[in-house]
Amino acid sequence: HILPCTNTNLKHSDLNCITPQTLAKCLDGHYNHLIDKLIIIDSRYPYEYEGGHIRSAHNIFTKERIIEMFLTNKEDILKKNDKQKRIVIIFHCEFSSERGPSMLRFLRNQDRAANRDHYPKLFYPELYLLEGGYKAFYEQHSVSLKQFIMKTIKKKKNFPK
């Protein structure tokens, strides 16, 4: 794997977990020499995503959308500009406890099934889980809001008649 992984997440020890700092470095371009495409999958529900999300994250929270994006339409993603670089996919949900890991495992299993005749080949070998999820990333990096898209709430003004 090209990103530094942490093995402190005992619940998801089968997954490659990265820290919020590593994701911030990815977003800031520190790994551009290794990454051709960075895809962030936010597995939270739409109302959570719309309340604020990591810059460039895709809100995908169903298995059907995972299949559509990564398997049905994989040619769009797999077109690489630089054959020496990798496609990196980072999953998360609010805490990266259930939904994010579940979606990552689902994609990995579907990828394995699609490549069963070419083992160990995978379309997406670089799958990662954001340790601590959106909550940890936001807590550690909200000072620098350039990493976030925040929903702006427009307040209605009550004008006197």
Q: Identify which of 153, 135, 140 has the alpha carbon closest to the alpha carbon of residue 44.
A: 135
State yes or no: is 93 an active-site residue: yes
Q: Which of 5, 17, 26, 93 is catalytic?
A: 93
Q: In the numeric block, which tokens belong to residue 137?
A: 């990333």
Contact criterion met (CB below 8 Å) for 113 and 2: no
Other CB atoms within 10 Å distance of the CB of residue 7: 8
Which percentage of the chain shows pLDDT scores above 90?
72
Other CB atoms within 10 Å distance of the CB of residue 22: 20
pLDDT average per 10 residues of sequence, the chain (161 residues)? 88 94 94 96 95 92 97 90 91 97 98 96 97 92 62 43 41
